[in-house]
Amino acid sequence: MKFEAIAVEKIPLIHTGDDLPSIICKNLELQDRDIVIIASTIVAKAEGEIFRLEDITPGKTALEMAARNGKDARFIQAVLSRSREVLVEKPFMLVTTLAGHTCVNAGVDESNIEDGFLLYPPENPDASASRLGQNLEKLCKKKLSVIVTDTNGRAFKIGQTGAAIGIYKIKPVKRWIGEKDLFGKVLEVTEEAVADELAGAANLLMGEGAGGTPVIVIRGFDYYCEEETYIKEMYRPEELDIIKKGLRCLQN
Ligand code: GDP
Ligand code: MN
Ligand code: MN
Ligand code: MN
């Protein structure tokens, strides 16, 4: 068994309105069932989610948090504007985004963009992945999957990894429940976060710095799915999320 990870070369600096599918198709010939993995940074740039820090007016909550935590109130306002819940305020803001993804700073990012600007994550990453996927499929006439990724930290461990935040034609989680192990025992709980694993693999070629490789194609890993799928299939239902419950207790 093997699969390939291919960095799409010659992607330019992306600006508002750029047509990512044609840029991608121009630089790599896609094949049926390729999984196209795209860094949220360039999706956000293409969607125009770029804001000047000095143009952001902090509201009351942002000003209070900034006073409590000694941070820039405008940055906090940016994070709040994309958050549905703040789980941790200090030493970093851990929030659940409007799209339901839990991460630091709501994915609002100051890296790989000009000084003084902030990049907000795509507002609806599943919709972005679908739009990109459908346009890619139209252009190259192949069946494709798409994952929009971001770099996320993890609880308990040092080191960030790539994480899936939006998907198209891919099942985010593989259920092993009911399958047998090597000794015939039936697996009872294991679910594999395949979309995150693929995002992590792609991130090895993206890097976090000046690499200039925001699009990676995974080829030969047969994981295409005809049905409509949603990233929220990966998010633990509220009533089962004991970590979130614990964090809420600590805040009150
Ligand atoms: P994030 O994980 O989505 O926040 O994206 P990163 O900021 O970590 O960037 C991932 C990769 O995309 C790195 O290789 C960056 O150099 C690259 N990158 C970011 N913006 C651009 C861009 O506008 N054009 C190109 N070619 N690469 C970019
Ligand atoms: Mn970044
Ligand atoms: Mn990011
Ligand atoms: Mn990154």
- Name which residue sits closest to atom 22 of ligand 1, judged by CA: 13
Q: Give the Cα separation of 152 and 162 in Å (integer).
A: 6
| Substitution site in 16, 112, 205 for ligand 1 pocket (most atoms within 8 Å of beta carbon) | 112
- Name which residue sits closest to atom 24 of ligand 1, judged by CA: 13
Residue 251: its pLDDT value, please? 82
Residue 112: its pLDDT value, please? 93
User: Which amino acid, residue 227?
Assistant: E
Q: Give the Cα separation of 98 and 24 in Å (integer).
A: 28
Q: Give the Cα separation of 54 and 168 in Å (integer).
A: 35
Ligand in closest contact with the CA of 206: 1
Q: Residue 240 corresponds to which tokens in the numbers above? A: 């089962």
Buried b / exposed e along 152-164 (16+ C-beta atoms within 10 A): beeeeeeeebbbb
Q: Is the Cβ atom of 225 under 6 angstroms away from ligand 1?
A: no
Q: Is the Cβ atom of 128 under 6 angstroms away from ligand 1?
A: no
What's the 3-state SS for the chain? CCCEEEECCCCCCCCCCCCHHHHHHHHCCCCCCEEEEEEHHHHHHHHCCEEEHHHCCCCHHHHHHHHHHCCCHHHHHHHHHCEEEEEECCCCCEEEECCCCEEEHHHCECCCCCCCEEECCCCCHHHHHHHHHHHHHHHHCCCEEEEEEEEEEECCEEEEEEEEEEEECECCCEECCCCECCCCCECCCCEECHHHHHHHHHHHHHCCCCCCCCEEEEECCCCECCCCCCHHHHCCCHHHCHHHHHHHHHHC
Residue 80: CB partners within 8 Å, gap ≥ 6? 59, 61, 62, 65, 86
Tens-place pLDDT, residues 30-86: 999 999 999 999 999 999 999 999 999 999 999 999 999 999 999 999 999 999 999
Band of pLDDT at residue 214, cut at 50, 70 and 90: very high
ipTM of this complex > 0.95?
yes
Ordered domains of the chain (ranges, CATH): 1-48+124-252 (3.30.1330.100), 50-121 (3.90.1660.10)
Tens-place pLDDT, residues 96-149: 999 999 999 999 999 999 999 999 999 999 999 999 999 999 999 999 999 999
Q: What is the mean pLDDT of the chain?
A: 96
Residue 169: CB partners within 8 Å, gap ≥ 6? 133, 143, 144, 145, 146, 224, 225, 226, 229
